[in-house]
């Protein structure tokens, strides 16, 4: 049975600590930022935005919104535009895969992505002396001039598949496949699972009244859901909120 | 020095008037300097990577994509003039055809050169041919531009081989003669390829569902921008030819073509521009009232950010669209050289603005509700590379004008040799 891996991020639990960003970078061998890198040229497959409702004083409210690849299921914007099939949707998992080895670096997929969840390697990857020993041997380092993005920690999926195969099973045990950001979140704000499995906790979370998706009206069927009990936060999803006027990255 | 003068004179066609060698060298010098700086800047980008530019993850396309879209639209004069002469049998446009071919060659080769710098892994360019994604507009663009550049090279070679010295080589003459037989076929193939990729450049943006500012519905697999880009390119191509010819006439002090040729180009340009403005107006209304609201976006999401406001939409439609169309169509204005040139200039400016809006404004506008309006200023390396392409164009055209029969074939020669 094919899975539809996705996330439900509870924004009311997110403290904006940035652990998910750090864990993502460590797991996926994201190099330290180059000296001239800015917030717009860095590699942040998981990026936490700080959003305010625009009010002042006691009425002021803020929320942290982690944004990563939404793994769009319908008319996936980045897939159809890539001129050399370096992007594809894995039918078995629903994960939108990026093949840096085939990427031309034209960046058309980055232009196509409404969530700005794709990143270009503007510099050669480099680590301070000694730090290369901390690299994850299961993940290939990407070279300068190619695009990368969240692949839901594909190396961890591979490990889970290997473990299942060794045990003679065809399906993985979901307890063996937990993306780094999910694992690192200290408040348990990120729920990961199979959206196609009605028995999975993520299914009911994604269908709860508090759940919503960013830019859902674009019709791309993102597989990352958000959850909040605050009306103004939920109002952001369909761009019908006048409150979210200020934002900055954590 | 005297030897240089002699060589220069030997390569210039007999009976034609050209400036002195010294004056020509002085004219070329600054353009060569600009080209050298451009090559240096492009070299930095290739060696150190695209961190030499001011593009970033959000402004993933920058000044170079604008340059590509702009010069390819301007270069449409080449295929469209070929189409008019060979397919629609408008023989009175033949005198301008060689010039149009050279301009097309400059525009397309310049665009391909910049694209090679603009991608992160230029050595993987062949991947697009080996692993083509047939659903991608960029694949269509890559295939068509590459093929059409080959066509333009084949069209340019006969013009090149008409040079006074080159045609003394018998094998060149034979080659030119054989190529010459192919030219009508090449014009047809070129027109087909060029129509398609002018459209796919528009489709490149029109298919972007995630960018409601440019996303358009359309016919079958093609968004409306596919057809609008074709129409705007063939509208502005003849205008660009008028501008280049008028500039060459001004600089050389010579009358290069009969006024009737420019007048006819102006009329064609004006009619097509008027049709484009009408089609664009309908498209804009459908987009603002149906397409973008269905995606959750309204006019306020697009036009409330200074300076990229609705002023640009108005400017591209009326003062740089309808107005030049009228100037180029109305006999009273089109009959006067000044008005004709003004009309052609405004038409070109309008299409340049349109391409700017598609490439730059699209990326500046926020899509996420908590996102910012972005700014982007190109780095000196981007500007210098841009300038290098312009300088390359001026140099190729200047050298072609001096040594090749662009407008005035040699006396006594069959004037149809290079164009029939």
* Token code pair at residue B156: 């340019």
Cβ contact A111–B136 (<8 Å): no
Q: Is B223 helix (H, G, I), strand (E, B) or coil?
A: strand
| pLDDT, tens digit, 9 for 90 and up, residues A40-76 | 999 999 999 999 888 889 999 999 999 999 999 999 9
pLDDT of residue A243: 44
Q: Which of B273, B28, B192, B52 is nearest to A41 (CA)?
A: B52
**Residue A107 with chain B: CB contacts under 8 Å:** 55, 60-61, 120
User: Least CB-CB distance to B209: which of A108, A220, A244?
Assistant: A220
Q: What are phi and psi of B251, to 5 degrees?
A: -70, -35
Greater confidence (A248 vs A100) lies with A100
81-100 of A, contacting B, C-beta below 8 A: 81-86
User: Least CB-CB distance to B49: which of A77, A102, A123?
Assistant: A123
Q: Which residues contact B67 (CB under 8 A, 6 or more apart)?
A: B111, B114, B386, B389
Q: How far apart are CA B6 and CA A196, in angstroms?
A: 81
* DSSP symbols for A37-91: --TTTS--SSEEEEEE-S--GGG--EEEEEE------SS-HHHHH-TTS-EEE-T
105-124 of B, contacting A, C-beta below 8 A: 118-121, 124
* DSSP symbols for B249-297: HHHHT---S-HHHHHHHHHHHHHHHHHHHHHHHHHHHHIIIIIHHHTT-
**ipTM (interface predicted TM):** 0.91
The tens-digit pLDDT sequence of chain B (420 residues) is 677 777 888 899 888 888 899 999 999 999 999 999 999 999 999 999 999 999 999 999 999 999 999 999 998 888 888 889 888 888 889 889 999 999 999 999 999 999 999 999 999 999 999 999 999 999 999 998 999 899 899 889 988 998 988 988 888 888 888 887 888 888 888 888 888 889 999 999 999 999 999 999 988 889 999 999 999 999 999 999 999 999 999 999 888 998 899 999 999 999 999 999 999 999 999 999 999 999 989 888 898 887 777 888 888 889 999 999 999 999 999 999 999 999 999 999 999 999 999 999 999 999 998 888 999 999 999 999 999 999 999 999 999 999 998 885 544 444 343 333
Cβ contact B131–A102 (<8 Å): yes
Cβ contact A116–B301 (<8 Å): no
CB A225 within 8 A of CB A190: no
| pLDDT, tens digit, 9 for 90 and up, residues B327-337 | 999 999 999 99
By the CB < 8 Å criterion, does A243 face chain B?
Answer: no
At which residue do the structure tokens 């694992």 appear?
A183
Give me the sign of the Cα torsion angle B372, B377, B379, B383.
Answer: positive
The CB-based long-range contact list for A124-128 (8 Å cut-off, 24+ gap) reads A124/B49, A125/A29, A125/A31, A126/A31, A126/A32, A126/A34, A127/A31, A127/A32, A128/A32
Cβ contact B368–A214 (<8 Å): yes
By the CB < 8 Å criterion, does A218 face chain B?
Answer: yes
Cβ contact B367–A119 (<8 Å): no
363-382 of B, contacting A, C-beta below 8 A: 363, 367-372
Q: Is B83 helix (H, G, I), strand (E, B) or coil?
A: helix
Q: How far apart are CA B401 and CA B267, in angstroms?
A: 25
| pLDDT, tens digit, 9 for 90 and up, residues A139-190 | 999 999 999 999 999 999 999 999 999 999 988 999 999 999 999 999 999 9
| pLDDT, tens digit, 9 for 90 and up, residues A102-148 | 999 999 999 999 999 999 999 999 999 999 899 999 999 999 999 99
């Amino acid at each position: 049975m094919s899975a539809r891996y996705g996330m439900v991020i509870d924004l009311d639990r997110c403290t904006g600590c940035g652990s998910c960003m750090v864990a993502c970078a460590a797991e996926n061998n994201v190099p330290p930022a180059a000296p001239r890198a800015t917030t717009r040229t860095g590699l942040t497959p998981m990026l936490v935005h700080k959003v305010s409702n625009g009010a002042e004083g006691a009425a002021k409210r803020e929320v942290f919104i982690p944004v990563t690849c939404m793994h769009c299921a319908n008319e996936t914007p980045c897939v159809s535009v890539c001129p050399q099939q370096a992007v594809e949707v894995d039918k078995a998992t629903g994960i939108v895969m990026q093949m840096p080895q085939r990427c031309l670096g034209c960046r058309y997929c980055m232009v196509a992505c409404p969530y700005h969840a794709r990143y270009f390697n503007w510099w050669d990857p480099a680590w301070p002396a000694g730090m290369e020993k901390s690299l994850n041997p299961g993940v290939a380092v990407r070279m300068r001039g190619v695009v990368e993005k969240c692949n839901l920690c594909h190396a961890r999926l591979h490990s889970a598949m290997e473990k299942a195969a060794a045990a003679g099973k065809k399906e993985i045990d979901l307890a063996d496949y937990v993306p780094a950001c999910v694992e690192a979140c200290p408040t348990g704000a990120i729920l990961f699972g199979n959206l196609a499995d009605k028995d999975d906790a993520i299914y009911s979370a994604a269908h709860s009244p508090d759940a919503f998706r960013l830019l859902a009206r674009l019709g791309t069927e993102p597989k990352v859901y958000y959850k909040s009990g605050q009306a103004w936060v939920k109002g952001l999803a369909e761009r019908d909120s006048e409150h979210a006027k200020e934002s900055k990255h954590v | 020095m005297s030897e240089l003068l002699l060589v220069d004179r030997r390569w210039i066609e007999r009976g034609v008037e050209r400036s002195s060698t010294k004056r020509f060298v002085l004219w070329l010098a600054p353009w060569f300097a600009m080209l050298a700086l451009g090559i240096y800047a492009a070299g930095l980008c290739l060696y150190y990577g695209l961190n030499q530019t001011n593009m970033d993850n959000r402004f993933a396309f920058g000044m170079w994509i604008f340059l590509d879209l702009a010069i390819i639209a301007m270069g449409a004069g080449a295929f469209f003039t070929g189409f008019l002469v060979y397919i629609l049998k408008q023989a009175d446009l033949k005198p301008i055809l060689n010039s149009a071919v050279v301009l097309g060659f400059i525009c397309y080769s310049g665009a391909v050169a910049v694209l090679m710098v603009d991608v992160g892994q230029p050595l993987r360019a062949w991947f697009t041919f080996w692993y083509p994604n047939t659903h991608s507009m960029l694949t269509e663009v890559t295939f068509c531009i590459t093929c059409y550049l080959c066509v333009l090279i084949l069209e340019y070679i006969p013009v090149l081989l008409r040079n006074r010295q080159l045609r003394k080589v018998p094998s060149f003459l034979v080659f030119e003669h054989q190529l010459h037989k192919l030219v009508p076929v090449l014009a047809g193939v070129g027109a087909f390829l060029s129509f398609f990729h002018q459209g796919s450049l528009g489709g490149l943006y029109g298919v972007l569902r995630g960018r409601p500012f440019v996303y358009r519905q359309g016919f079958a697999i093609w968004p409306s921008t596919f057809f609008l880009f074709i129409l705007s390119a063939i509208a502005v191509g003849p205008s660009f030819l008028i501008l280049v010819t008028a500039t060459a006439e001004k600089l050389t002090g010579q009358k290069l073509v009969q006024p009737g040729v420019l007048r006819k180009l102006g009329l064609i340009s004006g009619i097509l521009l008027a049709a484009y403005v009408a089609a664009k107006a309908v498209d804009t209304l459908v987009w603002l009232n149906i397409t973008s609201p269905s995606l959750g976006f309204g006019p306020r999401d697009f036009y409330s950010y200074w300076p990229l406001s609705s002023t640009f939409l108005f400017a591209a439609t009326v003062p740089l669209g309808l107005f030049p169309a009228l100037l180029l169509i109305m006999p009273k204005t089109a009959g006067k050289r000044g008005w004709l040139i003004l009309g052609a200039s405004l038409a070109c400016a309008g299409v340049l603005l349109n391409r700017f809006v598609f490439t730059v404004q699209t990326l500046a506008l926020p899509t996420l509700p908590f996102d910012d309006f972005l700014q982007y200023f190109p780095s000196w390396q981007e500007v210098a590379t841009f300038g290098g392409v312009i300088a390359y164009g001026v140099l190729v055209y200047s050298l072609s004008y001096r040594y090749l029969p662009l407008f005035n074939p040699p006396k006594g020669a069959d004037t149809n040799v290079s164009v029939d």
